[in-house]
């Protein structure tokens, strides 16, 4: 059995950020990844948006870690040459009922420490984005976009420069908790056992499964996970917008919004498609072209110029939800020794959006909880 100071399970954006933080504190750290490459799950199947911290409940982990993480991530991208753009976004309202909701969104954002939102009239919104149809809008200058793969490569680079290591094709079959040392059984072609004083489960969609295979952890500390698939469609042709365009949020998501990649290509999504599956291994990431038919009406509500046939299936992602359809949205769960009583163990559950934005702040939070 090989010994290291810390094992991090999952090489998505959060796992890499946690591994980096531990390695930079002088701990011999290895990040285990079940796939053949980093960030093949939720981290690479999203909108690549750097969120401002607008929508989340005051005092929630999502709110705090998004705002703190956003500031840290912009600085990280600047210092590490990660391609990004602070393009801003417009949250648009149509009709009196939606316009009334803008005030609630603005107040929630201010409570979270987002102080730069600006209320716009219909005329002001159209002066920024002439193709837009809106009765009112909120401008968020702090919202941006980032090259998610470039971000993960930069985090991996810092991890390795600090002496940490990445092991691909290394699924975790089981964990046995001990007093001061934990044993991690690693499967794959090169199976091995690792002992470590610190184990961080940042396995994303697979995190509850890893926790359920952890001997010594009470089943009561393993939440039931739900899976909400989000489908994206790409716009053929030139995008008429220079900013991201978001409608009023809907249940389980932020509505069918328009995002831009760093080349200026527009894509729309995600929608919400609840999956009736027991394991993320059952996920089918194919995008049904017929789902695009439902996108047109939603998009034309704020962009009436969208022509028939302009949307093409692009990709999909799956949110690791802790709530099901019709249930209140859940906060991130970062479960450390204070919650389960086991020194050196942290489980992260339900790390969906804004997990990428908050990755550096999440890593700092994990370290703090380990040190308590």
Q: Where in the chain is the domain with CATH 3.30.9.10?
A: 86-143+225-321
Q: Give the model's pLDDT for residue 256.
A: 87
Query: How confident is the model over 75-111, as pLDDT tens digits?
Result: 999 999 999 999 999 999 999 999 999 999 999 999 9
Is 70 exceeded by the pLDDT of residue 351?
yes
Rounded mean pLDDT, 278-290: 96
* CATH classification number, 86-143+225-321, choose in 3.40.50.10540, 1.10.579.10, 3.50.50.60, 3.30.9.10: 3.30.9.10
Does residue 250 register a pLDDT over 80?
no
Residue 254's pLDDT band (boundaries 50, 70, 90)?
low
- DSSP string of 52-100, one letter each residue: -S-SSPTT-HHHHHHHHHHHHHHHHHHHHT--EE---EEEEE-SHHHHH
Average pLDDT of the chain? 95
pLDDT at residue 294 is higher than 60: yes
Using DSSP's 3-state secondary structure scheme, residue 330 falls into coil
Average pLDDT over residues 188-216: 96
Is pLDDT of 3 > 80?
Answer: yes
Share of the chain above pLDDT 90, in %: 93
Among 51, 61, 12, smallest CA distance to 254 is for 51
Instruction: Find how far residue 349's CA is from the centre of its chain.
Output: 12
* CATH code of the region 2-47+149-224+330-371: 3.50.50.60
Binning pLDDT at 50, 70 and 90, where does residue 115 land?
A: very high
Summarised one tens digit per residue, pLDDT across range 86-96 is 999 999 999 99
Q: Mean per-residue pLDDT for 48-56?
A: 95
Task: Report residue 71 as tokens.
Answer: 């500031």
| Closest CA relative to residue 65, chosen from 372, 272, 369 | 369
Return residue ranges of the chain for CATH 3.50.50.60. 2-47+149-224+330-371
The pLDDT value recorded for residue 255 is 75
What pairs with residue 266 in β-bridges?
260
Indicate whether 311 pLDDT > 80.
yes
* pLDDT > 60? residue 257: yes
State yes or no: pLDDT of 190 exceeds 80: no
Question: What integer is the mean pLDDT of 268-293?
Answer: 95
Average pLDDT over residues 277-298: 95
Residue 252 confidence (pLDDT) = 52
pLDDT, tens digit (0-9, with 9 covering 90-100), for 219-235:
999 999 999 999 999 99
User: What pLDDT score does 206 carry?
Assistant: 98
């Amino acid at each position: 059995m090989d010994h290291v100071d810390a094992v991090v399970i999952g090489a998505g954006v959060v796992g890499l950020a946690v591994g980096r933080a531990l390695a930079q504190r002088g701990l011999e750290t290895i990040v285990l990844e079940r796939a053949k490459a980093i960030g093949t799950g939720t981290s690479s199947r999203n909108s690549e948006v750097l969120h401002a911290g607008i929508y989340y409940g005051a005092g929630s982990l999502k709110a705090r870690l998004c705002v703190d993480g956003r500031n840290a991530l912009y600085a990280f991208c600047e210092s590490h040459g990660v391609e990004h753009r602070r393009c801003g976004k417009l949250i648009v309202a149509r009709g009196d009922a939606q316009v009334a909701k803008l005030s609630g969104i603005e107040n929630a954002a201010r409570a979270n420490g987002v102080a730069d939102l600006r209320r716009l009239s219909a005329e002001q919104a159209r002066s920024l984005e002439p193709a837009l149809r809106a009765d009112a809008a909120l401008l968020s200058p702090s919202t941006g976009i980032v090259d998610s793969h470039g971000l993960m490569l930069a985090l991996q680079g810092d991890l390795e420069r600090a002496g940490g290591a990445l092991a691909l094709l290394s699924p975790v079959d089981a964990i046995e908790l001990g007093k001061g040392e934990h044993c991690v059984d690693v499967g794959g072609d090169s199976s091995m056992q690792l002992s470590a004083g610190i184990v961080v489960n940042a396995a994303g969609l697979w995190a509850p499964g890893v926790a359920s295979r952890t001997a010594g952890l009470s089943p009561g500390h393993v939440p039931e996970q739900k899976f909400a698939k989000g489908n994206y469609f790409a716009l053929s042709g030139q995008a008429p917008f220079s900013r991201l365009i978001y409608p009023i949020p809907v249940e389980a998501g932020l509505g069918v919004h328009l995002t831009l990649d760093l080349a200026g290509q527009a894509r729309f999504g995600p929608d919400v498609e609840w999956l009736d599956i027991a394991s993320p291994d059952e996920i089918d990431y194919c995008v049904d072209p017929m789902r695009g038919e439902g996108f047109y009406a939603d998009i034309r509500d704020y962009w009436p110029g969208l022509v028939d046939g302009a949307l093409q299936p692009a990709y999909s992602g799956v949110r690791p939800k802790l709530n099901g359809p019709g249930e209140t949205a859940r906060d991130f769960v970062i479960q450390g020794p204070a919650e389960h009583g086991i020194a050196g163990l942290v489980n992260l559950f339900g790390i969906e959006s804004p997990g990428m934005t908050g990755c550096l702040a999440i890593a700092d939070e994990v370290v703090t909880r380990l040190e308590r």
